[in-house]
């Protein structure tokens, strides 16, 4: 069966500043926590850094032309905070803003809708040196930065998101330490989570104050599709605990203006949460024009037994757990084929999340702001990159989106991760998520067969039979 998507559905692809731009020391940009982290030996596979990345900063015109050839209707990118406000305080650097103005103008000239993310993990190093996300002041700094970008780009960008995946910023950055800034402190991780929530609320307020009424304000989260290994009460409790830490810690404040009571109980031995002040929750609960969902793979948990299986939660081999207060939870490899990340392929996780938020906030439109897979893609003798696994992955996940729409979910768009192969954080350039292959020696771009497949789907709005 073919499946038609609603008219106006956005067919997009996504990237993030540090993963693609390069030009790390140009035009006034200074270090972010990811520059510091990637330049610290042992933190990133192969010692890779984002210094050059895929040179999108210099090649954006060529890249936008390619997007247009590939029929993309929308492009999700992030603004590098240290490129436009190098110390995280004070006035903007015009050359930094000029880059994003030029990028957006190029997109609009090709009929591609820009979706701007303010924060995709590159905190100015100076703000980390002053305490980073565990400090409340960072949330206020974010709101100032949001205002500055809104003033510069509000006349030409209509779709804005505050944060990308605050879970990763808080728990991989300050908990397990596999992401920048690489701290391993459960109290800092929980404080960071709250201040990211606050940053979202203050940032959304700042955007509303500066943007024209037609602008839309959203956030991108990576809620967990968390499943219990067995129907036992103990495994159900493990599922509840990880769901609170993965998802409700962000969505309860953002969507309902409260923290989950069970989260406070589960973490009572770690912190008393006194850093949550009066009125914070009313700021965090800011009316959203859309909720962005990033999804890759489900998580399977059980109560830990004495012969605890190895931790397999898909977030890198940190010595420290990213899950505060969940030491008695075991993580299991979910069933299904594995991608190069060793993430299992299971589109039902995406369907379940879309239906969950449809039930929870029926009036908030949804966007899939990231979905995709890494494979070991190589050009063949003729220079063609065949990636049938990625086509199958995209096909099954778009099928899940279509099924959710048929079942009542108001999904307005889908952004494939990623437009280009790029710097995959702690994995460096080893993992390729792109629909477009990049030869890192020459920076040559070659659309993979999945890019051509996706272009056909985007052009017709129809998913062909499997
Ligand atoms: C997400 C990130 C994105 C990319 C994908 C694979 O967690 O938001 O930058 O690295 O994973």
The pLDDT tens digits for 414-454 are 999 999 999 999 999 999 999 999 999 999 999 999 999 99
Residue with tokens 């609009």: 108
The catalytic position among 128, 370, 389, 424 is 370
165 is catalytic: yes
Q: Is the pLDDT of residue 459 over 90?
A: yes
Q: Quick check: is 234 catalytic?
A: no
Q: Is 254's pLDDT higher than 70? A: yes
Question: What burial class does residue 406 get, using C-beta atoms within 10 Å of its C-beta: 0-12 exposed, 13-18 middle, 19+ buried?
Answer: exposed
Nearest to 199 by CA among 144, 259, 151: 144
Q: Over 70: is that where the pLDDT of 216 sits?
A: yes
Q: How confident is the model at residue 306 (pLDDT cuts 50, 70, 90)?
A: confident
Q: Is any atom of ligand 1 closer than 6 Å to the C-beta of 424?
A: yes
Test site for ligand 1: of 17, 419, 425, 428, most ligand atoms within 8 A of the Cβ: 425
pLDDT tier, 309 (very low <50, low <70, confident <90, very high otherwise): low
Compute, in angstroms, the gap from residue 273 CA to the centroid of ligand 1: 29
Residue pair 243/237 in contact (Cβ under 8 Å)? The answer is no
Quick check: 315 pLDDT over 90?
A: no
Which position has the token pair 């404080």? 191
Instruction: Provide the pLDDT confidence category of residue 313 given band limits of 50, 70 and 90.
Output: low
CA distance 287 to 419: 30
Q: Residue 367: pLDDT above 80?
A: yes
Q: According to the model, what pLDDT value does residue 432 have?
A: 98
Report the separation in Å between the CA atom of 274 and the middle of ligand 1, taken as the mean of its atom positions: 31
Q: In angstroms, rounded to a whole number, what is the distance separating the alpha carbons of residues 37 and 18?
A: 12
Q: Does a structural domain hold residue 326? A: yes
Which pLDDT belongs to residue 2?
Answer: 84
Which pLDDT tens digit goes with each residue over 265-274?
999 999 999 9
Q: In this predicted structure, what is the pLDDT of residue 1?
A: 72
In a domain, 438, yes or no: yes
pLDDT tens digits, 144-158: 999 999 999 999 999
pLDDT tops 90 at residue 278: yes
Measured from the CB, is residue 454 less than 6 Å from ligand 1?
Answer: no
User: Phi-psi region for residue 114, left (φ > 0), alpha (ψ -120 to 50) or beta?
Assistant: beta
- State both tokens at 273: 């949460």
Q: Report CA(417)–ligand 1 centroid distance (Å).
A: 8
> Do the strands 74-78 and 113-119 form a parallel or antiparallel pair, or are they unpaired?
parallel
Work out which ligand 1 atom sits closest to the CA atom of 165. 8
pLDDT of residue 104 exceeding 90, the answer is: yes
Please determine, for residue 210, whether its predicted confidence score (pLDDT) is greater than 60.
yes
pLDDT higher than threshold 60 for residue 5: yes
**Residue nearest atom 9 in ligand 1 by C-alpha distance:** 16
Domain count for the chain, please give it. Answer: 1
Dist. CA 322–CA 327, nearest whole Å: 10
Q: Which of 50, 170, 424 to mutate to test the pocket of ligand 1 (most atoms within 8 A of CB)?
A: 424
The boundaries of the domain holding residue 442 are 3-460
Whether residue 466 lies inside any domain: the answer is no
How high is the pLDDT of residue 151?
A: 98
In 155-222, the DSSP E strands lie at 159-164, 216-221
Is the residue at 51 inside a domain?
yes
Binned at pLDDT 50, 70 and 90, residue 110 comes out as very high
Is the Cβ atom of 425 under 6 angstroms away from ligand 1? Answer: yes
Q: What is the mean pLDDT of the chain?
A: 97
Q: Answer yes or no: are the C-beta atoms of 54 and 438 closer than 8 Å.
A: yes
Task: Note the pTM of the prediction, 2 decimals.
Answer: 0.98
CB 259 within 8 A of CB 253: yes
- Res 308 pLDDT > 70: no
Whole-Å CA distances, 464 to 37, 351, 389, 461: 43, 19, 16, 10
- Local confidence band at 402 (pLDDT 50, 70, 90 cut-offs): very high
Maximal CA-CA distance, the chain: 63
Residue among 38, 78, 165, 178 whose CB has most ligand 1 atoms within 8 A, to mutate: 165
Does the residue 68 lie in any domain? Answer: yes
Q: Which residues pair with 77 in a beta bridge?
A: 116
Q: What is the pLDDT of residue 319?
A: 74
**pLDDT for residue 307:** 67
Binned at pLDDT 50, 70 and 90, residue 466 comes out as: confident
- How does DSSP assign 108-148, residue by residue? HHTT-EEEEEEESS--BHHHHHTT-TTSTHHHHHHHHHHHH
Instruction: Compute the distance from residue 457 Cα to the ligand 1 centre, in Å.
Output: 23
Average pLDDT of the residues in 352-372: 99
Structure-block tokens of residue 209: 């104050």
The answer to whether 412 and 44 have CB atoms below 8 angstroms apart is: no
CATH number at 172 reads 3.20.20.80
Residue 302: per-residue pLDDT: 96
Q: Which of 93, 23, 102 is nearest to 56 (CA)?
A: 23
Structure tokens that stand for 144 in this block: 């100032």
Write out pLDDT tens, residues 47-103. 999 999 999 999 999 999 999 999 999 999 999 999 999 999 999 999 999 999 999
pLDDT per residue as tens digits for the range 113-126: 999 999 999 999 99
Rounded to an integer, the average pLDDT of 393-406 is: 98
């Amino acid at each position: 069966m073919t499946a038609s998507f609603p008219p106006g559905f956005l067919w997009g692809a996504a990237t993030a500043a540090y993963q693609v731009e390069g030009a790390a020391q140009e035009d006034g940009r200074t270090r972010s926590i990811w520059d510091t982290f990637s330049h610290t030996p042992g933190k990133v596979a192969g010692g890779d850094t984002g210094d050059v990345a895929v040179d999108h900063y210099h090649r954006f015109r060529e890249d936008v032309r390619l997007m247009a050839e590939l029929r993309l209707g929308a492009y999700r990118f992030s603004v590098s905070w240290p490129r436009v406000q190098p110390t995280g305080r004070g006035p903007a650097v015009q050359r930094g803003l000029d880059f994003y103005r030029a990028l957006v103008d190029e997109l609009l000239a090709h009929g591609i809708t820009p979706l701007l993310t303010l924060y995709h993990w590159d905190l100015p190093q100076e703000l980390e040196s002053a305490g980073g996300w565990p400090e409340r002041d960072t949330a206020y700094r974010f709101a100032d930065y949001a205002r500055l970008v809104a003033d510069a780009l509000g006349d030409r960008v209509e779709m804005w998101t505050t944060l990308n995946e605050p879970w990763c910023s808080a728990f991989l950055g300050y908990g397990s330490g596999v992401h920048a800034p690489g701290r391993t402190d459960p109290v800092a991780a929980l404080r960071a989570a709250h201040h990211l929530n606050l940053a979202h609320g203050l940032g959304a307020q700042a955007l509303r104050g500066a943007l024209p009424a037609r602008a839309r304000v959203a956030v991108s989260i990576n809620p967990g599709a968390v499943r219990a290994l067995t129907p036992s009460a103990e495994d159900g409790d493990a599922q509840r605990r990880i769901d609170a830490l993965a998802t409700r810690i962000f969505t309860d404040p953002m969507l309902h203006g409260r923290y989950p009571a069970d989260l406070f109980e589960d973490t009572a031995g770690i912190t008393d949460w006194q850093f949550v002040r009066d009125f914070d929750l009313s700021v965090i609960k800011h009316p959203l024009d859309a909720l962005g969902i990033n999804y890759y793979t489900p998580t399977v948990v059980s109560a830990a037994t004495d012969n605890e299986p190895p931790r397999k939660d898909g977030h890198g081999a940190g010595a420290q757990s990213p899950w505060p207060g969940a030491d008695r939870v075991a993580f299991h490899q979910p069933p299904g084929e594995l991608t190069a990340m060793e993430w299992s392929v299971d589109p039902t996780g995406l369907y379940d999340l879309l239906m969950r938020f449809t039930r929870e906030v029926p009036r908030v439109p949804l966007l899939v702001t990231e979905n995709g897979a890494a494979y070991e893609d190589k050009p063949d003798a003729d220079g063609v990159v065949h990636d049938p696994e990625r086509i199958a992955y995209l096909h099954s996940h778009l099928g899940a989106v279509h099924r959710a729409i048929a079942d009542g979910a108001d999904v307005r768009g889908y952004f494939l991760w990623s437009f280009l192969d790029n710097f995959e954080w702690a994995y460096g350039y080893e993992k390729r998520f792109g629909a477009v292959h990049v030869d890192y020696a020459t920076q040559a771009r070659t659309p993979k067969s999945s890019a051509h497949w996706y272009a056909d789907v985007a052009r017709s709005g129809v998913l062909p039979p499997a």
